[in-house]
């Protein structure tokens, strides 16, 4: 029987993100998954209240945080992993294909300081790799499609799927970001559906499906196979891809897309400070016509 980790969710309503503390009950070693750094794009101010709340709970429970784990380079919130590392000494980890994301976005932001070898992170996980959180066994499942670098962390009887899946009544993640692919997303989801039906699945986001009044982020493989409105058993790859591509064409860009990608591809660090000591985030500007450029 698989050992059950202690799981404590933390929901950030401004970004609809769920972060987690995952702890081994035997040793009290713990990992944090997808922590949120609070960022106000209207003022440029950064706050640590969300990660401080996680650290307070860890301290109260006597947990030693040894990992801060990213499921992918998020496009909707800035990572709080560097702050957790500074406070605890935890290693920051992500999937090895973050290098693909860095290569895609380095020229977009003219990020000449950024290496594209993933070395901003302390560890790059490979598909199928195992590691320990205390006595808990954790396994990496490569689940690309939303981005080329998404991974799922299977820890004991639980799997943390990032943005690959949402709750069954809401469906699946978009696949239209650079490097995303709806075919890959379908195959990644089907891979997750081969896990034991009782496996607990923990989402990274929830947006309240129509008719549901409360946020939710925990489900099972069986519930997804039976009820997911986009990809339940019986939905073919071609049908899913057609639905996903059509739906993605109607979606607007996430509010924090530009700052999030710049920070998260650097393992949560901001670009280097300028000579005046201030750090700046880049906003690429695209003109629809040469007349607008001349104006």
User: For residue range 75-108, what is the model confidence (pLDDT) as tens digits?
Assistant: 999 999 999 999 999 999 999 999 999 999 999 9
Examine the pLDDT at 1 and tell me if it is beyond 90: no
Quote the pLDDT of residue 289: 73
- Mean pLDDT of the 149-168 span: 97
Residues 116-130 have pLDDT tens digits of: 999 999 999 999 999
- The overall average pLDDT reported for the chain is 96
Residues 220-237 have pLDDT tens digits of: 999 999 999 999 999 999
Residues 207-216 have pLDDT tens digits of: 999 999 999 9
**8 A C-beta contact, residue 32 and residue 65:** yes
- Mean pLDDT of the 41-57 span: 96
- Mean pLDDT of the 41-48 span: 94
Quote the pLDDT of residue 235: 98
Give, as one character, the DSSP assignment of residue 248: H
CA–CA distance, 166 with 178 (Å, rounded to integer):
20
Quote the pLDDT of residue 101: 97
CA–CA distance, 110 with 115 (Å, rounded to integer):
12
H runs (alpha helix) in the chain: 49-61, 81-88, 98-105, 182-192, 221-227, 237-248, 257-264, 290-294
228: its two tokens: 């997911």
Quote the pLDDT of residue 2: 66
Range from 17-21, 33-37, 279-283 carrying the lowest mean pLDDT: 279-283
* Share of residues in the chain with pLDDT > 70 (%): 97
294: its two tokens: 């001349």
Q: Strand pairing partners for 219?
A: 201
CA–CA distance, 138 with 21 (Å, rounded to integer):
14
Question: In terms of Cα–Cα distance, which of 213, 169, 218, 155 is closest to 9?
Answer: 218
Examine the pLDDT at 294 and tell me if it is beyond 60: no
- Mean pLDDT of the 282-294 span: 75
**8 A C-beta contact, residue 116 and residue 99:** yes
Q: What is the CATH number of domain 6-294?
A: 3.60.15.10
- Mean pLDDT of the 270-274 span: 95
Quote the pLDDT of residue 285: 87
For the chain, the domains span 6-294
Quote the pLDDT of residue 292: 59
Examine the pLDDT at 295 and tell me if it is beyond 90: no
């Amino acid at each position: 029987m698989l050992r059950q980790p202690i799981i404590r969710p933390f929901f950030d309503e401004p970004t609809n993100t769920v972060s987690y503390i995952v702890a081994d009950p035997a040793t009290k070693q713990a990992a944090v998954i997808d922590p949120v750094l609070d960022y106000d794009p209207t003022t440029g101010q950064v706050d640590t209240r969300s990660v401080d709340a996680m650290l307070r709970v860890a301290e109260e429970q006597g947990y030693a945080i040894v990992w801060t784990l990213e499921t992918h380079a998020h496009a909707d919130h800035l990572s709080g992993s560097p702050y957790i590392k500074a406070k605890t000494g935890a290693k920051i980890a992500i999937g090895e294909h973050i290098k693909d994301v860095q290569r895609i976005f380095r020229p977009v932001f003219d990020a000449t300081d950024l290496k594209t070898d993933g070395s901003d992170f302390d560890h790059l996980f490979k598909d199928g790799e195992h590691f320990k959180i205390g006595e808990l066994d954790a396994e990496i499942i490569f689940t690309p499609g939303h981005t080329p670098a998404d991974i799922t962390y299977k820890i004991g009887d639980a799997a943390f799927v990032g943005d690959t899946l949402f709750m069954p009544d809401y469906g699946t993640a978009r696949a239209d970001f650079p490097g995303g692919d709806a075919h890959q997303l379908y195959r990644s989801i089907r891979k997750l559906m081969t896990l034991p039906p009782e496996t607990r699945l923990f989402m990274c986001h929830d947006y309240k499906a129509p008719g549901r009044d409360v946020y939710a982020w925990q489900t099972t493989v069986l519930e997804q196979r039976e009820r997911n409105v986009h990809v339940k058993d019986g939905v073919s790859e071609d049908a899913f891809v057609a639905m996903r591509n059509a739906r993605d064409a109607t979606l607007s860009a996430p509010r924090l897309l530009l700052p999030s990608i710049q920070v998260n591809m650097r393992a949560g660090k901001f670009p280097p400070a300028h000579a005046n000591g201030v750090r700046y985030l880049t906003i690429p500007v695209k003109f629809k016509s040469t007349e607008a450029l001349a104006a």
